[in-house]
Structures are given as structure tokens and as C-alpha cells.
Structure 1
Amino acid sequence: MQALELSTEINEKHQIHLQLPDSIRAGKAKVIVLLEDVTEPQPKKKRVFGQFRGKIKIREDFENELSDDFWLGNDV
């Protein structure tokens, strides 16, 4: 098995055209297409101070130590 790296463009008809080097003999081949990530970066949304106020609850025992059962995986 041999691997080649060739560059091509995908046209409007969703087709690719490849020209292999003359040293490649005729026969069956597997083709793998790796698409470059060309998605445009999403503009970052502006964060608003306090936008999540009241949506997160912290338990009263948040700062308490966790039991040995928790660390040993016995706490269900």
C-alpha cells in the first residue's frame, strides 16, 4: 500500500478532479478526503456581568470535605 498527498478543489457540483503521477499504475485505489476546516470563526458574544445570576445554586455543604467513600468510588 502506498499513500499520496494531492491537493484539489471541490467544485460547485461537489466533484473533485485528481491527476495522478505517471509512476502510478492502473488498478483499484481507495480515496480518503480530508476537508480543511474553512468555517468562519463565530464572533464572540459580549459577556454581560450578572447574566447568569440566579441560575446557579451552590449547596450549603460545598466547602465540606468529601468522604473517603467518594474518593474510593463507593459513594453512589
Structure 2
Amino acid sequence: MQAIELHTTIDENHQIHLQLPEDYPPQAAKVIVLLETISPVPSKKRQFGQFKGKIHMADDFDAPLPDEFWLGEAR
């Protein structure tokens, strides 16, 4: 598989138009669209304390991990 980079724009009909260089033979191709800019999605204002009582920390959360974890033997 070979990758090439082509620049185009999305028109008002939500379509893109691509023109490959002449030296590319007819063959199957896969097109992946990477958007350069994305419109920001408005977010709701965060409310202080909205998750109060929903998150619990274990008493030993900062205890050292056993050697089995670091050696990849933990299950």
C-alpha cells in the first residue's frame, strides 16, 4: 500500500473532488479524510460538586505495586 497526500476542500454539498497525478494507473484505492480544522462543540458549564459521592479512592491507592506487576506477571 502506498500513501500520497492531496489537498482539497469540502464544498457546500459536503463533497470532495480529487484529481490524481497522470502517472497513477487505474486501481482500487482507499480514501481517508483528515480535517484540518474542526468546529468546536459548545460545552455545558461545569457545576462544582456534580460528581460528589460518585468517585471513591481506595485506601492503598498510593501503595507500591508488587514486583509481579512490573515484571508483567500480574493478572
Look up the match of 1:10.
Answer: 11
The alignment's TM-score, normalised by the length of structure 1, stands at 0.52
Name stretches of at least 5 consecutive residues in structure 2 with no aligned partner. Answer: none
Task: Please give the root-mean-square deviation of Cα atoms over the aligned residues, in Å.
Answer: 3.4
Aligned length: 68
Shift of 1:9: 5.3
Farther off after superposition, 37-46 or 54-63: 37-46
In the aligned structure 2, how far is the partner of 1:6 from the partner of 1:48?
Answer: 42
Name stretches of at least 5 consecutive residues in structure 1 with no aligned partner. Answer: none
Look up the match of 1:40.
Answer: 39
The alignment's TM-score, normalised by the length of structure 2, stands at 0.53
Deviations 1:13-62 (Å, cap 9, x if unpaired)? Answer: x66667x7xxx5xx847785746456531112211111111111111111
In the aligned structure 2, how far is the partner of 1:41 from the partner of 1:69?
Answer: 44
Identity over aligned pairs, percent: 40
In the aligned structure 1, how far is the partner of 2:26 from the partner of 2:66?
Answer: 62
Q: 1:36 to 1:67 in 2, by over 3 A?
A: closer
Q: 1:47 to 1:29 in 2, by over 3 A?
A: same
The letter of the residue matching 1:64 is: A
Look up the match of 1:75.
Answer: 74
The letter of the residue matching 1:73 is: G
